Structure 1
């Protein structure tokens, strides 16, 4: 059985010289589903119908570039001999934290230019961002990346996983934790949580900061299982360090905004 486990083909189809990878399709599908979810809510909140499309024109390219730059910086040894491979994003290697940093910077500039509250936009977008991440992780699955340490086949079967997932987790001669799946499921649960929290009419900005805390908690623990992690200072796992910073920073920001009156407005206002 071990000798016959075959990975899924990462190529979806080919059109002449053009090769379309499942990685790109699933990342795009995640972005589309996130867009549909966010756009529906933006209309409810009274924002212009074309505002989200205008934002995505800048935010999506920025997110992809930021995600790749972040990955390449912390994995430069893979690209030092052939720097042009840094542009081969279809091979995988997009770091979510890099995408989020670039997206937040883009959102801040966009909100300032459009004279709209950044926190209002961020709160509305939070569930859609998490949905996009949940779907996008299946692109990592197709590329056989974002996996954890070795486990037995019986361990995976005990999780009631379908055979196609179990066999895809057979990498380099052994089975591995499907950490992509752990994160995807956690993110989907997070989407449901954020949609539920809308009814609580949280203070402005706290929906987005709850998303940051929620995702960072999962990443802090899941990163400890993964084998394809990025390192900072040669010893610390970058995602874990950043997750701790984001959790503490978000909590401080929530307290600060409440005490200074910056969070007096609520999600359902306007």
Structure 2
């Protein structure tokens, strides 16, 4: 766990730095994929810029809305660079809404655009896993295994490393057919969603958080991931059937 790296007088937030590097690499992967698919790289890049900007603003505003009393006392904290002061659902909602509006106005094909974004999303998933490892978030259940990590006073499942390994595998699967132009639009994106849902079901079995009472220890995220998996598999079938 390395939440802060002191470089001379500077205290660098390692999780935030990892996320920024992941986004930068992800953007490069998206542009490379879009170029190979013969898509308009400039429009894809502009869409990403607006979506990211809206996502960051939405995540911060969502966090402020949930902690109004604290920000009344310290209003300038709203401009903090801390990644912990972001509300993920609000950010995702703002990002998706902005992306849809821009894509519709510019006439971008929805499924092809989602496919182009998929390699970058896969890279960002790896970055999020490393970010959690640096911050200590998403930690696992106590376990005495030879690969366990010592965190918060106990030996635990290294769930962040599990996440990274599965995210790397998903990226390899997605990137392996980057030049294949015969796949129906949306197949790459939906495959990424399905594989990510499987990863969530597997890894969350070893997490401490989000236990659903009365369901034998099944996590809330596992239930949601299962529904997403079933929906994405059905949509893949529908996309393939429409091309036949």
TMscore range, shorter length: 0.7 to 0.9
Deviates more, 1:38-47 or 1:113-122: 38-47
1: CA distance, partners of 2:174 / 2:63: 28
- What number of residue pairs does the alignment pair up? 238
TM-score normalized with structure 1 length: 0.73
Normalized per residue, the structure richer in helix is 2
**Contact 1:68 1:89 (8 Å CA) reproduced:** no
Q: CA deviation at 1:91?
A: 5.9
Q: CA deviation at 1:81?
A: 7.1
Structure 1 residues 11 and 227: CA distance shift in structure 2, 3 A: same
Q: CA deviation at 1:230?
A: 7.9
**Contact 2:36 2:179 (8 Å CA) reproduced:** no
SS of 1:12's partner is strand
Give unmatched runs, 5+ long, in structure 1: 1-6, 160-165, 265-270
Deviates more, 1:20-29 or 1:238-247: 238-247
Whether 2:189 is the aligned partner of 1:208: answer: yes
2: CA distance, partners of 1:184 / 1:59: 25
1:11 maps to which residue? Answer: 4
Structure 1 residues 215 and 67: CA distance shift in structure 2, 3 A: farther
**Contact 1:11 1:20 (8 Å CA) reproduced:** yes
TM-score normalized with structure 2 length: 0.79
CA RMSD of aligned residues (A): 3.6
SS of 1:147's partner is coil
Q: CA deviation at 1:199?
A: 4.9
Structure 1 residues 71 and 250: CA distance shift in structure 2, 3 A: farther
Q: CA deviation at 1:140?
A: 1.1
1:178 maps to which residue? Answer: 158
SS of 1:215's partner is helix
Structure 1 residues 240 and 30: CA distance shift in structure 2, 3 A: same
SS of 1:198's partner is coil
